Every structure is written in structure tokens, then in C-alpha cells.
Amino acid sequence: MFNPLDYNGIPLERQTRDWRELDVAPIDAENVDPYATSRIIAVNGVENEAIQFDFQIARNHADSDIRREMDFLGSLSEQQHRVVERLLPEVGSVLETALEYEHAAVDLDSWLARMEPDPQRREVYECDALEDFDHLYRYADVLEMVRRRRADRVVDELTDVLPEWAAAGQTPYRDETGREPTTAPMSDLNALTMLSVEQQLMSFYRNADPTYVDPFTRPTYREISQVEEEQVARHQTLVDPTTSWWEQLVIHQYNECYLYYSFLQQETDPRVRAVWELYLDMELARLQVARDLLRRFDGREAEEIVGNGLPEPLGFEQNREFLRRLLATRLSPDALGSGSIREVPEVREVRGRLENVPTTDGVPDVLDVLMEQHRRIEALFFEIDVATGERRQAVWDELVDLLSVHETAEDQVLHPVARDGIVGGFDVVRDLVDEERKIKQMLVRLIDAGVDSDGFDDAVSELRNAVLDHARNEERFEFPQLRDQVPAEQLRELAAAVRPVVPA
């Protein structure tokens, strides 16, 4: 487990660079991993946010020594931002640049959705992925028609990401308002990262004049640029405005350390990898400065805010199957590329919640809670397929715990009500309980064998099919009847008995 607070990094007095060291050549977009561009765009946005924040403190603090120190930190961030920005590949048009920015946004949305511990925020990132993928799809479509350039050269075989649509609509979204937000440090870091990148996109759209875009493309370009501004406004609601300057400074610096560390593990280009390694060492020293300022002015330790380390990062390169699954289960194929994706119910509900627009009565019932668990279980099964090492063991442990508490909640809370409260309840519950018994037997065998055992992959695939089939049977035969035949107030009361077992 990487903990940036354990390292001192390069002393600040050795971090200043002259212009020759800042004059770097861009990467060759045609001959590098496309995810290298996504990583550069993400870091570019985070560094830009760091510059603005450091100078904001410098402008507003009364102590002249603090102003000088924050000005110096801001100037160091500016140097890093200049190098990172110059690493971005040279592209032939505004349209291709916009397409690469949207590609990076989709990568980041997917990455954060897989890491996010809070269900509400995870929904936000999943819906952002749907919106941004729609932008990417529409830009790529126009690029092939107008520029006669294959879109897959820019976005790494975009068409291969598109899923088979047989499963579309099987797992509907449910608005789940009323749950207390998580205080997990990872959630704060994710929110800051996504806000920083969305701000970078918004800045690009503000500065890239639509008149430089092909006339055929301008309506799409203007529409998407407006959506990006709205996304920034929504992501600002995920960042806590009540924290002090010094708490925010610690979060900013810690987040930069974590991103540089994460991208260092994934980078394949040796020149870019060297940049990530150098800048990680620099950010580690700035984190120590932020830590000291937090102690001095707030009397707190950084560990109270960011914890004692973060799990191994997931990789951008592993997001394709996640995105395929998300598109297949959340989106009708008719919506993709139509320009109306923001009116898809699941996207509209999440947007409405962040914009304080009521979409339901605001009170989840027991079926909402259990269906949220179904979605989380499905996501964990997918992650088992792509995770490795310690991360795989951690995902497996979370999945085992969630399956256990989920089935306990259904056995003790839901099935007794269904047995007596719906038509044919005895037969429905008997069949579901029989499926659960078989799942428990499979789960026990896998727990005993362990994730490193021979045949684990095949066995966990069999378990996944059984669990997801069981979930679909519940949502088809049990849940609809309960919603129709059991009073809504009773279902909401039952949620209180189930909610303690929902993962935070």
C-alpha cells in the first residue's frame, strides 16, 4: 500500500528548472499507447487546478511569508504544467483535439467508477462515462465522414468498445437518495480529480473557437461544449466547500502524488515514465509542506484527512470491458450518438439529484437498496476478471462479504414478506432459496480454495453466472410483485433493516 506521507521527496530548493529543461517534445500519438495521451490530459488538468489553488491562497492570506511560500509552490506547479502540456501530441484539427479530450474523460470516468467506494458517487461517474462516450462516439463518427480519417487511429479502435446489445436494459438504475455520503479519502480524491479534468475540458472548449471547426460539425461541437460546462457545475457539488485552506491543500497535494504514482505503474513510454517519476518525487516534498501548514494552522494531522495509504491503482488499460458492460446494461443502442442521451432516465435522475431537482419522493425502499447491491455485486465480479495481485484479493474479500450480507438480508427481511405477501409467494421463495443454497455451496468451495488456486477463474465464472441469474430471477419474479402488492411505507421501513449491510 502506497502512502505518500511516508516519503520526503526532492527538497523544494532543488525543484526549480530552467527553460531548457522545460522545453520537451510531444509524444508521437501514432506510435504510443493511446492511454498515454489520456494520462497526460488527466495530469494536465490536475496541475492546472493546483496552480489556481496555490495562487488563490497566496492572494487571500494575510501573512506575507505564507503568500511567498504559496507563490513559490504555484510557480513550481506552473513549471510542471508547462512540461506536461507540451507532452500532449500534436493533432491536425480542433475536432481531433476535442475527440482526444473526450477519450481521456471516458477513461477517467470508468477508472473512477471502478475505484469509487460510495454508491451515489459511483453512479455519477458511470453516468458521466455514458455522456462522455456519447460525445466521443459522435466526434469519431463525424471525423470519419468529414476528415476521412479512421477514428480508431485516435481513440484506439473505438468501434471495438461497442458492446453486444442483447443485455441492454437488464439492470435498470434506481435513484438512491437519502443515504449519507461516504467520508472515505478515496472519494475526496476522485471528486477533485474529475473536477480538475472537467475544468480542463471546459477551458479547451472556451478557447477553441467553433469557427475553426468544420461547418458540418459546429452544431455538435457547440452542444457538447455546453454539456461540459454543466458537468463542471455538477462536479463542484461533490467537493466539500466547508474544509479549510490547509485541508484542501493536503488533499490537492496528496491527490497529485497518488496520480503520479498510479501513472508511473502503468506508463509504457520511457520518456513519459521518467517525467512521472521525477514529478512524483517533487510532489512528495510539497505534500510535506502542506502537512506542516495543516499542523500549524489547524492543529491536525494529515492522516485524519487522507488516511494511511491507498490501494494499488486500477489501470486505464483495463477499462474497455467495464465500459462495454456499462453500455450494454445501461443504454439502449438507439440512444448512442443520437444527441438525446441526457434524457435517458438513469442519466437524468443522477443529473437531477446533483442539481437538486427532485426525481422521486427521495426515500429509497428495501428493493432499491437490494438492487443497488445487485449492481455492486455485478461490478465486483467483473473486477475480479481484470484485477491482479493484492487488488484481486481485496476485491474477492469485498465480494464475499457483500454476498454474505446480501443473502442474509434477503433471507431474514425480504423472503418472509414475499412468502406471505405476493401471489404464489411460497413457490417463488422456494425456488429462490434453492438457488441461494447452491450459490452458498459454490462460494464455500471457492473460499476454501483461494484466489490463487488452479481453476479459480473458471469456478468464479460459474459462480458469477449463478449469482447474476439469481439476481435477475429476483428482479423478475419477486421484486415487481412486492412493489405492487406490499404497501410502499412497509417497503421503506424494511430498508432500514437492510441498509446497515450496504457497503459504505
On whether both 272 and 371 belong to a single domain, the answer is no
Q: Average pLDDT, stretch 65-74?
A: 93
Q: Are residues 420 and 289 in the same domain?
A: no
- Residues 116, 262, single domain; the answer is yes
Among candidate residues 330, 347, 375, the one where a domain is terminated: 330
pTM: 0.67
Interval 229-235 mean pLDDT: 82
In the prediction, which pLDDT does 173 show?
29
Tell me whether residue 344 is in a domain. Answer: no
Q: pLDDT grade, residue 499 (50/70/90)?
A: low
Ranked by mean pLDDT, the top range of 88-92, 281-285, 304-308, 465-469 is 281-285
194 and 264 co-located in one domain: yes
Q: What is residue 27's predicted lDDT score, i.e. its pLDDT?
A: 87
Residue 38, domain member (yes or no): yes
In a domain, 338, yes or no: no
Segments forming the whole domain that contains residue 114: 4-330
Which range among 6-20, 117-131, 214-228 shows the weakest confidence by mean pLDDT?
Answer: 214-228
- 451 with 396: CB under 8 angstroms? yes
72-86, 283-297, 330-344, 489-503 — which is least confidently predicted?
A: 330-344
Domain-ending residue, one of 277, 309, 330:
330
CB-hemisphere CA count at 13 Å for 151?
A: 22
Q: What CATH number is associated with residue 472?
A: 1.20.120.520
Q: Are residues 96 and 191 in the same domain?
A: yes
pLDDT in tens, 410-428: 888 899 999 988 888 888 8
Is the pLDDT at 438 greater than 50, yes or no? yes
Quote the pLDDT of residue 118. Answer: 82
Q: Which amino acid is at 438?
A: K
Share of the chain above pLDDT 70, in %: 82
User: Which segment, 51-55, 389-393, 486-490, is predicted with the most confidence on average?
Assistant: 51-55
| 8 Å CB contact between 27 and 87 | yes
Q: 3-state DSSP helix/strand/coil percent for the chain, to nearest 5?
A: 75, 0, 25
pLDDT at 155: 46
What total number of domains does the chain contain?
2
Task: Note whether residue 404 is domain-resident.
Answer: yes
* Residues 275 and 326 placed together within one structural domain of the fold: yes
In-domain check, residue 343: no
Does the structure show a pLDDT above 70 at 39?
Answer: yes
Q: Are residues 145 and 201 in the same domain?
A: yes
**pLDDT grade for 342, boundaries at 50, 70 and 90:** low
**What's the confidence (pLDDT) of residue 30?**
74
Flag whether pLDDT at 431 surpasses 80: yes
Residues 426 and 380 in one domain: yes
C-alpha cell at 2: 502506497
Average pLDDT over residues 66-93: 88
pLDDT given at position 1 = 76
User: When comparing pLDDT for 308 and 347, which is higher?
Assistant: 308
443 in the same domain as 294: no
pLDDT band at residue 50 using 50, 70 and 90 as cut-offs: very high
Distance between CA atoms of 450 and 103, rounded to whole angstroms? 37
The predicted model gives 321-333 an average pLDDT of: 72
Query: Is 228 a residue whose pLDDT tops 60?
Result: yes
Q: What is the pLDDT of residues 236-266, one digit of tens each?
A: 888 887 889 999 999 999 999 999 999 998 8
Cα gap 390→384, rounded to integer Å: 11
CA distances from 5 to 68, 188, 295, 309, 350 (A): 24, 17, 14, 8, 35
Distance CA 187, CA 183 (A): 7
Residue 224 and residue 4: Cα distance in Å, rounded?
37
Q: What confidence tier does 339 reach under pLDDT thresholds 50, 70, 90?
A: low
Segment holding 290, helix H or strand E: helix 270-298
The predicted pLDDT at position 363 comes to 62
pLDDT score, position 395: 85
Whether 300 and 388 map to the same domain: the answer is: no
Which of 436 and 235 is assigned the larger pLDDT? 436
Q: Are residues 317 and 216 in the same domain?
A: yes
Joined together, the cell numbers standing for residue 203 give 477551458
Question: Residues 449-461: pLDDT tens digits?
Answer: 988 888 898 999 8
What's the confidence (pLDDT) of residue 192? 92
* SS3 track for 40-96: HHHHHHHHHHHHHHHHHHHHHCCCHHHHHHHHHHHHHHHHHHHHHHHHCCCCCCHHH
Which distant-in-sequence residues (6+ apart) come within 8 Å of 504 by Cβ? 117, 118, 182, 184
pLDDT at 321: 74
Mean pLDDT of the residues in the chain: 80
- Check residue 296 and give its pLDDT: 93
Q: Is 198 found in the same domain as 57?
A: yes
